Amino acid sequence: MKNFQNKAKIIKVSKIIRHILFAGLVLWIGIGIPTVLLQAVKLWNQIGNSATLYLQGGVAILLALSFVVNLKLFRFFDRLKNGYLFDAKTVGNLDAAGKWWIVLWLFEVLFYEIGHGVFQISDAWNSGGLFAGLTLIFVAWLLKEAQELQEEQELTV
């Protein structure tokens, strides 16, 4: 009975988080990406300063990578909401979200370091993205190990 209650709680919380992530995806697609594209077109017509073009391209890539991380987390919680608790595909989405978050962090570090060195853009990166990505990868690894342990226990019984 307790396992059923825990599963129901996981599904309920997953629905709420999935709705929040869906709102994020809608904002990325509906507002963020069109805004960046419109600004890029405006800048492309008046390329007077290479720093503005560098900033616009970097922001577009950061936005795209953030969208991918949000999408992978959305898929993870969508599978949880549908009752696929911690199977290989569900855990794979969590693992992929962590890896994409690390890629986002690496690009952010490069973007701000190159921008600081060449265009005198102030440094604004931090290690939060690295920590979050590594945490997601660790939790996914932990869930994979728990799956294997459960399979071994089921075979021995």
Tell me the pLDDT of the chain (157 aa) as tens digits.
Answer: 466 677 788 888 888 888 888 888 888 777 877 777 777 677 666 665 666 667 777 777 888 888 899 999 999 999 988 888 778 899 999 999 999 999 999 998 888 787 766 666 666 667 888 899 999 999 999 988 888 887 787 777 5
Q: Give the pLDDT of residue 102.
A: 95
> Integer distance in angstroms from the first to the last C-alpha of the chain?
21
3-state secondary structure of 86: coil
Cα–Cα distance between 61 and 121 in angstroms, integer?
Answer: 17
3-state secondary structure of 137: helix
The pTM (predicted TM-score) of the whole model is 0.78
Cα–Cα distance between 43 and 56 in angstroms, integer?
Answer: 8
DSSP 83: T
Q: How far is CA 89 from CA 19, 22, 72, 79, 132, in A?
A: 20, 19, 11, 8, 20
